Amino acid sequence: MTKTVPDILRIAVAQLNPTVGDVAGNLAKAREARADAARQGADLVLYTELFLAGYPPEDLVLKPSFLKACEKAAEDFAKDTADGGPGVIIGTPLKRKSGTHNSIVFADGGKIIAERYKLDLPNYGEFDEKRVFQAGPELQGPVNFRSVRIGIPICEDIWGEVAVCETLAESGAEILLVPNGSPYYRAKIDVRHQVVIKQVIETGLPMIYANQLGGQDELIFDGASFAIGADKTLAFQMSQFEDAVDVTTWKRRGETWVCSEGPMSEIPEREEADYRACMLGLRDYVNKNGFKNVVLGLSGGIDSAICAALAVDALGEERLRTVMMPYRYTSKDSLKDAEDCARALGCRYDIVPISEPVEGFKHALTQLFEGTQEGITEENLQSRARGTILMAISNKFGSMVVTTGNKSEMSVGYATLYGDMNGGFNPIKDLYKMQVYGLSRWRNSHVPPGALGPSGEVIPKNIIDKAPSAELRENQTDQDSLPPYPVLDDILECLVENEMSVDDIVARGHDRATVNRVEHLLYIAEYKRRQAAPGVKITRKNFGRDRRYPITNRFRDRG
């Protein structure tokens, strides 16, 4: 008896927020999404890369008990499909004779009908999959699902040079479904679209791109799942930074599957996207690590102000405590600005003066420091006193300390170890100073979707307008020791993001001595960055995962 070839296929994309290592919790989310998809009439549910494990699982993959738990969850989920509802494609690590693989399990009718293994393992930037996985031994062909031949490349299989998609097309695939764990950086959606369009052109097949959502340490997965039709146009676009289970309807038109129904969400502009990435990263880091609330030092400056806004937006006003810690150099403007910011956000605001501890340190060191001039050492005592107070509050009340240094400062070492660098997580770690200003202005005019904070001006205008200062000595401003931030940020972006030579940066119009000095400061601050809190990745090259320079390093680019 000849099987009827379907003319309609309803594919649900489960764009969800798994937690690395929470295999039971991830399975529960997968089951809930499948039930939702079934109510919407789906035939098949596509989950994201390594969903049951959470992505990226890193060295958890080397733990046999973790692999067993993931495989057991996949087997249990496969049994669920005996109910006659939708089949599932779900990512999980699998240990086989050929090695441990980044895999998918395809289940239908109560059993696993196929396994597929990732062939092209990424080993650049934030990825180091070759450390823990082995590439699939060979490319296996499409899977026959209810008489539709489905090709399943996994993430990097469509990004690299291995001709996975072309081979699947040559093997008879009718449509390509791709589970992904693609982290966010600015304009990444455009890059993904171009990668998929290239594969569509080469194969002639439509492709569905399902991407993970959520924060995992420094990485932000922004969702924004989509499909490109065989005609190279956008077939559907899911939302960015929001979980969703969307069912898309595909109809057979001759030899081609065409999407006739699916979401077409608007993608946020650059500043909104960056802000929402920082917000999501902070929310998930705090919640997934079990912190009830957070605390930060609110100085009256723009960095702590935007971090406070992000914390309230991500967690709610009741979960943020702000602390102003004034010393003799703290201006009246800063005291007023910090209080106005806390009042606008509706969060708790405490004042803890640091005169006594700072003077106590100075007194204790009087004999040792006799005959020396006051300078940076004494300035850093102020920062370290503040850091100690914040950590004491953290210890006493279980609040995670949010640290507030921006990328410009961290690049050139304009931060104090065991002082303002104290903390568990930094939502603006990968934002340059001028980007902090831009996002602050944007937030004063917008409330991002999902934010728990108020509308209106939450960062007082005076904070944005005044000259930035650490206020560690009389009449101090950042520009006393650093180039103007527009100049500094451009030089740093050239050095860090683009790895440009000093000559090329000077050719852009910068002073050579300034470029040399900034390059020197960048290199000698590496030891500080190694001890910094993790923070949200926003750019193509953040400190830590992407940019790994040696601490001991005598190289300087002098032409």
Residues annotated as binding site? Answer: 124, 182, 188, 297-304, 380, 404, 409, 528
CB 388 within 8 A of CB 357: yes
Torsion, Cα of 280, 286, 289, 291 (10° steps): -160
Residues 6 or more apart whose Cβ sits within 8 Å of residue 196: 158, 178, 207, 209, 226, 228
SS3 422: coil
Distance of CA 149 to the CA centre of its chain: 34
SS3 97: coil
Residues 6 or more apart whose Cβ sits within 8 Å of residue 65: none
Annotated binding-site ranges for ATP: 297-304, 404
Pinpoint the alpha helices (H) of 316-406: 332-345, 355-364, 366-369, 376-397
Catalytic residue numbers, as ranges:
49, 118, 155
Annotated binding-site ranges for deamido-NAD(+): 380, 409, 528
In this structure, the chain runs to a length of 559
Residue listed under structure tokens 């520009």: 479
Which of 300, 322, 283 minimizes the C-alpha distance to 401?
A: 322
Tokens of 171: 């093997």
- Strand duo 256-261 + 244-253: pairing: antiparallel
Torsion, Cα of 501, 502, 505, 506 (10° steps): -140
CB 339 within 8 A of CB 305: no
How many Cα atoms sit within 13 Å of 101 on the Cβ side? 21
Annotated binding-site ranges for L-glutamine: 124, 182, 188
What does the DSSP 8-state code read for residue 13? E
- Strand duo 226-228 + 207-211: pairing: antiparallel
Distance of CA 4 to the CA centre of its chain: 45
